[in-house]
Chains A and B, each alone.
Chain A
Amino acid sequence: MSDFTNELVQHIINGVSLGSIYALIALGYTMVYGILQLINFAHSEVYMVGAFTAFYTARYMGLADKPGFLTLITLIVAAMVVCSIIGVSIERFAYRPLRRAPKLNILITAIGVSLLLQYSGQIIFGADPKVFPNVLDDQTLATLGTAELRLFDVTILGVAVFFMAVLTYMINYTKTGKAMRAVSTNWTVASLMGINVNRIISMTFIIGSSLAGVAAVLIGMKYPKIDPLMGMIIGMKAFVAAVVGGIGSLGGAVLGGLLIGFAEEMVKGYISSTYADAFTFAMLILVLIFRPAGLLGKPSQEKV
Chain B
Amino acid sequence: MTKPLLIAENISKYYDGRVACEKVNFELWPGEVLAIVGESGSGKTTLLKCLSMQIAPNAGRALYSLRDGRTESLSDLSEAERRFLMRTDWGFVHQDPREGLRMGVSAGANVGERLMAVGERHYGRIRSTALDWLNRVEIAGDRIDESPRNYSGGMRQRLQIARNLVTAPRLVFMDEPTGGLDVSVQARLLDLLRGLVRTLGLSVVIVTHDLAVARLLSTRILVMQQGKVIETGLTDQVLEDPQAPYTQLLVSSVLQV
Decide whether A and B are members of one complex: no
Chain A residues in contact with chain B, CB under 8 A? none
